[in-house]
């Protein structure tokens, strides 16, 4: 039997380890309970046969909606062993969304974890007549539901045991019928417009993805993993389930979605992925906790964090750390770094990945200082892992390089294209979208970026959010703004360009508190925000940041001129949305004079802006704003 | 509506009177709670609902009046023994050990079921250890039941109000009572917290077959979860019956909404 599907690999791995090795752990009633490979395999076998008893045919689709539990993974493997396709649905979906996916995927059975999810399905029951049964695995609150449409996980397994007794060869017969080109999972991606699209992922996509991942960052069968990313998301399938099935990595399941932080500490996994947002939150949590801690902790933190920063800096710049610093770092590690890593569940981590928006360099430096190197990982549902940081080749401004087997190229419009064995098979029942996104084996990510000479990919933005210049070059205003905002002295930025403009300019909003503090240290007197923002010294301070960011940008995207706005961007004046997103159109209108001054070569511009005070009164502020040119 | 005789009730309140000086808080209250039911005690502010609960749990001694529970008159049982008889309660103003964790608060409630001597319990190994494990398991099941895993090791004083209420309910459950007295379990909660609490009360009733006497202000919720309702007004029982009967009862409407105007 060639091993070309996940369930075949699962059975093979289970035979290799049998009863002697832990496959999964789950925390229940406060205690970690273990499942050996033998037990896990038996559960999948019986469940799969149970599904066959319920009439599941090769190629049928089954939806699963639930949290990270062994049952979720067993259900997925059981569906696949019976030849079916598993369709994950996010647990926070509303009944309408569930109805769309269940209908669109033609699901014949649905796994729904608990009362909450079963209630949603009961609500849409009339709209999903094709669903024969809903199978639940957490019976809490469902005790008095006497609906034969609902069936417990255990009852399905009992059906399977019965079938196994009658036809002992049934499981294997069905198992060997599968092949690598069969579809394994559908991942519905939320489109920004219209309905979600169901990306069809085959067994070979997943197994090849794992083979590629193994080449660059191999997980051992003694490695621990905590499953906390939504299992309906492709990432949990790539980093979790598939690696578990192929390499035998131990998967641990948290007690409840809200206990992940505590469970992380107890498990201390070897590999994990957080969104960049979460990494950033962790840093602020640590800082808040330290500030609330005892004086001795605060002292140690103040004493040794600079050592951590220094040593991390040396290590990543030159690779050589003088012996004295190494000694200091060792003491710091004992005093503060190791306890911090322990609190965060990072004591054993070998691969700490970040996905999503770019991580601020401060966050990267913080974790390097306490001894954790965060690597970026860039991927998509349709193409799995596109690029990642491999080994010690970590550059925080990039999203890494393409692993062997994956090809990356940049289209003329700046779009990142991906080709490789992991690229999906198309969108289910949606040939138009498939044709638009998948051409000659190249997946069109819809993301814009560029490749550096060292092979590292820089991610900019969604293609549709790019702006064009008069020269025809495209640039990402959000990318430039994001990089500039990493500076502690810059609170908000709006980057400006457009077809009628030859270069990029920016309106910058200084961070009053930080720049004010800096000014005090420089013995620089100032009165108000307006006054401080127009000080030549402050212009020079910000200029340094702009020049530094410009060095990391391709030449057409560099900021040529900027002004420091005499006031803060204000949601009360409709300049920002309540979630602090820029309202670009409105801003361009409002600051038309200032923007034109930057393109006309004027050295300064007089502005009189209407200001609305908190109490509703309005007033006018008149001042002169200087235009600063950047020589790059 | 028959009150039922003592044979059919788990708790029988008979002609309860309570006076604070010249103020009559309760005047001749009688009702029975049947095994396995949720009975709600409702009424406007100052109607005497909490006074009834306090009489049952032994905080107040009625004069005169009898409260029959498990063939004993609770008015004659010392307060500290009432819990051992199988009556547990929660308080309107939460009364937990604020410096201890949620888990320890629940474990403390298991104290009445622990048999080992102080010395045996103080040792790590031996019978004290085994007993601790048994009780920890029971407590962990309650934590699971009330979805308190994330706050298991949190100090109660740092928890928000809605969660403290849940810890208090958990502590009452940890006593494994036969009768659960809930004093305004949903007071001061937002809609979502109220719905959660209502679901927990129904689950307790359904799964643990517990008899529940509930004092509550929120009429909508009472009507949803209680099988029978007793209405008090100025220390007098003015109605008793199913939720639907109560909703239509003219006296209840009067007590809650006032006298209709003359126009």
Q: What is the ipTM of this complex?
A: 0.79
Neighboring chain A residues of B149 at a CB cutoff of 8 Å: 30, 255-256, 258-259
B147 contacts in A (CB within 8 Å)? 256
Indicate the average pLDDT of chain B. 87
C-alpha count within 13 angstroms, C-beta hemisphere, residue B249: 19
Q: What residues pair up with A74 in beta bridges, in sequence order?
A: none
Helical H runs in A472-535? Answer: 477-485, 512-521, 529-533
Distance CA(A100)–CA(A121), nearest Å, equals 12
Q: In this predicted structure, what is the pLDDT of residue B209? A: 86
pLDDT of residue B93: 80
Task: For an interface test with B, give the residue of A26, A30, A262 to mutate (most B CBs within 10 A).
Answer: A30
Query: For residue B173, what are its two tokens?
Result: 């459950």
Contacts of B153 in chain A (CB under 8 A): 262
Q: What share of chain A is helix, strand, coil (3-state, %, to 5)?
A: 45, 25, 35
Interface check for A141 against chain B (CB to CB < 8 A): the answer is yes
Q: What digits encode the pLDDT tens for the residues B195-238? A: 889 989 998 998 888 999 999 877 788 888 999 999 998 889 99
| Strand ranges (E), A399-502 | 407-410, 415-419, 438-439, 442-451, 457-462, 467-468, 474-475, 490-496
Residue B61 has pLDDT above 80, yes or no: yes
CB pairs under 8 A between A and B: 29
Contact A259 B149 (CB under 8 A): yes
pLDDT of B165 above 50: yes
In this complex, do A262 and B206 lie within 8 Å of one another by their Cβ atoms? no
Q: A317: which residues sit within 8 A by CB, 6+ positions away?
A: none
Nearest-neighbour CA in chain A from B207: distance (Å): 8
Host H or E run for residue A209: helix A203-216
The DSSP letter of residue B155 is: B
Q: pLDDT category, B262, cuts 50, 70, 90?
A: very low
Q: Is the pLDDT of residue B261 over 80?
A: no
Taking CA–CA distances from A30, the nearest residue in chain B reads: B140
Contact B137 A29 (CB under 8 A): yes
Rounded CA separation A388/A378 (Å): 6
Peptide bond before B64: cis, by omega within 30 degrees of 0? yes
Mark out the alpha helices in B25-157 (DSSP H runs): 49-56, 79-85, 102-109, 118-122, 127-145
Residues in B closer than 8 angstroms to A29, CB to CB, are: 137, 140-141, 143-144
Paired tokens of A546: 């702009």
User: Sign of the CA dihedral A462, A464, A469, A471?
Assistant: positive
Residues of A in contact with B207 (CB under 8 A): 143
Q: Mean pLDDT throughout B28-36?
A: 92
Q: Please indicate if any CB of chain B lies within 8 Å of the CB of A262.
A: yes
Helix A295-317 × helix A276-292 angle, to 10°: 140
CB spacing of A28 vs B144 below 8 angstroms: yes
| Contact between A30 and B199 using a beta-carbon 8 Å cutoff | no
Spatial contact of A493 and A481, defined as CB atoms under 8 Å apart: yes
Question: Within 13 Å of residue A409, how many CA atoms lie on the same side as its CB?
Answer: 8
Dihedral of alpha carbons A569, A571, A572, A574, sign = positive
CB atoms within 10 A of CB A437: 21
Q: How high is the pLDDT of residue A237?
A: 95
Neighbours of B4 (CB within 10 A): 13
Task: With beta carbons under 8 A apart, name residues in chain B contacting A31.
Answer: 140
A-chain CB neighbours of B197 within 8 Å are: none
Contact A378, A399 (CB under 8 A): yes
Query: Where are the extended beta strands (E) located within B148-208?
Result: 179-183
3-state secondary structure of A129: coil
* A35 min Cα distance to partner chain B (Å): 20
Higher pLDDT, B131 or B256: B131
Instruction: State the Rg of chain B over Cα.
Output: 19
Q: Which of A158-162, B123-127, B238-242 has the highest average model confidence (pLDDT)? A: A158-162
Alpha carbon of A289: minimum distance to chain B alpha carbons (Å):
14
pLDDT band with cut points at 50, 70 and 90 for residue B11: very high
- The SS3 assignment for B195 reads helix
Residues of chain A with pLDDT under 50: none
What pLDDT sits at residue A141? Answer: 84
Residues 275-304 of A with CB under 8 A from B: none
Tokens of A135: 């199978």
- In angstroms, the separation between the Cα of residue A601 and the nearest Cα of chain B is 58
pTM for the whole thing?
0.85
**A139 near B CB under 8 A:** no
> How many C-beta atoms lie closer than 10 Å to residue A477's C-beta?
23
Model confidence at B260, pLDDT cuts 50, 70, 90, reads low
């Amino acid at each position: 039997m060639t091993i070309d599907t996940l369930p075949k690999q699962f059975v093979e791995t289970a035979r290799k380890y049998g009863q002697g090795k832990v496959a999964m752990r789950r925390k229940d009633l406060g205690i970690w309970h273990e499942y050996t490979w033998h037990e896990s395999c038996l559960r999948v076998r019986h469940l799969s046969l149970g599904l066959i008893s319920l009439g599941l045919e090769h190629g049928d689709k089954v939806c699963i909606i639930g949290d990270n539990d062994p049952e979720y993974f067993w259900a997925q493997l059981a569906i696949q062993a019976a030849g079916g396709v598993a369709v994950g649905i996010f647990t926070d979906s509303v009944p309408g969304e569930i109805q769309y996916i269940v209908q669109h995927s033609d699901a014949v059975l649905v796994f729904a974890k608990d009362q909450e999810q079963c209630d949603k399905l009961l609500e849409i029951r009339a709209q999903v007549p094709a669903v024969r049964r809903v199978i639940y695995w957490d019976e809490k609150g469902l005790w008095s539901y006497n609906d034969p449409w609902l069936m417990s996980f255990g009852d399905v397994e009992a059906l399977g045991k019965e079938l196994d007794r009658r036809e002992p060869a049934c499981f294997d017969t069905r198992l060997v019928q599968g092949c690598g080109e069969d579809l394994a999972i559908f991942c519905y991606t939320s489109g920004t417009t219209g309905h979600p699209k169901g990306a069809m992922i085959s067994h070979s996509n997943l197994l090849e993805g794992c083979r590629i991942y193994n080449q660059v960052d191999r997980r051992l069968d003694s490695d621990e993993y905590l499953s906390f990313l939504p299992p309906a998301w492709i990432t949990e399938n790539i980093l979790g389930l598939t690696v578990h099935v192929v390499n035998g990595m131990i998967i641990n399941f948290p007690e409840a979605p809200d206990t992940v932080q505590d469970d992380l500490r107890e498990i201390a996994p070897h590999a994990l992925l957080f969104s960049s947002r979460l990494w950033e939150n962790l840093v602020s949590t640590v800082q808040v906790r330290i500030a609330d801690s005892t004086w001795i902790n605060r002292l140690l933190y103040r004493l040794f964090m600079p050592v951590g920063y220094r040593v991390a800096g040396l290590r990543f710049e030159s690779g050589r750390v003088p012996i004295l610093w190494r000694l200091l770092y060792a003491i710091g590690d004992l005093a503060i770094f190791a306890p911090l890593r322990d609190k965060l569940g990072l004591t054993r981590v070998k691969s700490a990945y970040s996905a999503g928006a770019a991580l601020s360099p401060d966050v990267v430096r913080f974790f390097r200082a306490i001894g954790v190197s965060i690597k970026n990982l860039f991927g998509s549902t349709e193409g799995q892992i596109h690029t990642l940081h491999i080994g010690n080749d970590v550059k925080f401004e990039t999203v890494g390089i393409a692993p062997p087997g994956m090809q990356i190229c940049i289209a003329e419009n700046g779009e990142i294209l991906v080709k490789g064995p992991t690229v999906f098979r198309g969108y289910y029942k949606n040939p138009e979208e498939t044709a638009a996104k998948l051409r000659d084996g190249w997946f069109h990510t819809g993301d814009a970026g560029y490749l550096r000479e060292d092979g590292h990919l820089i991610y900019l933005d969604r293609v549709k959010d790019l702006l064009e210049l008069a020269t025809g070059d495209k640039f990402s205003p959000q990318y430039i703004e994001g990089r500039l905002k990493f500076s502690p002295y810059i609170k908000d930025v709006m980057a400006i360009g457009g077809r009628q403009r030859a270069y990029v300019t920016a309106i910058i909003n200084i961070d009053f508190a930080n720049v004010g503090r800096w000014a005090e240290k420089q013995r620089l007197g100032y009165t108000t925000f307006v006054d401080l923002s127009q000080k030549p010294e402050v212009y020079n301070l910000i200029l340094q940041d702009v020049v530094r960011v410009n060095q990391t940008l391709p030449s057409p995207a560099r900021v040529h001129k900027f002004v420091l706005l005499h006031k803060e961007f204000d949601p009360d004046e409709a300049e920002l949305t309540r979630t602090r997103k820029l309202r670009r159109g409105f801003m361009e209108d409002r600051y038309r004079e200032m923007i034109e001054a930057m393109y006309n070569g004027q050295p300064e511009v007089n502005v009189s802006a209407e200001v609305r005070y908190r109490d509703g009164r309005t007033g006018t502020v008149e001042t002169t704003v200087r235009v600063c040119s950047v020589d790059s | 509506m028959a009150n039922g005789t003592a044979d059919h009730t788990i708790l029988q309140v008979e002609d309860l009177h309570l006076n604070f000086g010249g103020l009559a808080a309760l005047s001749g209250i009688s009702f029975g709670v049947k095994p396995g039911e949720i009975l709600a005690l409702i009424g406007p502010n100052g109607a005497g609902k909490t006074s009834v609960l306090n009489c049952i749990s032994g905080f107040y001694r009625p004069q005169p009046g009898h409260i029959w529970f498990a063939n004993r008159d609770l008015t004659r049982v010392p307060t500290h023994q009432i819990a051992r008889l199988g009556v547990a309660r929660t308080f309107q103003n939460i009364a937990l050990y604020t410096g201890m964790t949620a888990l320890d608060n629940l474990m403390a409630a298991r104290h009445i079921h622990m048999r080992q001597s102080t010395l045996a319990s103080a040792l790590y190994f031996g019978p004290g250890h085994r007993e601790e494990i048994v009780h920890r398991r029971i407590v962990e099941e309650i934590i699971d039941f009330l979805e308190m895993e994330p706050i298991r090791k949190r100090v109660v004083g740092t928890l928000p109000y809605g969660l403290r209420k849940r810890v208090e309910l958990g502590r009452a459950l940890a006593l494994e009572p036969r009768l659960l007295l809930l004093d305004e379990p949903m007071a001061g909660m937002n809609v979502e917290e109220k719905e959660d609490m209502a679901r927990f009360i129904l689950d307790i009733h359904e799964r643990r077959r517990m008899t529940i006497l509930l004092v509550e202000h929120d009429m909508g919720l009472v009507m949803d979860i209680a099988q029978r309702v007793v209405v008090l007004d100025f220390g007098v029982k003015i109605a008793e019956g199913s939720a639907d009967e109560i909703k239509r009862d003219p006296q209840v409407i009067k007590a809650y909404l006032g006298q209709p105007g003359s126009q």
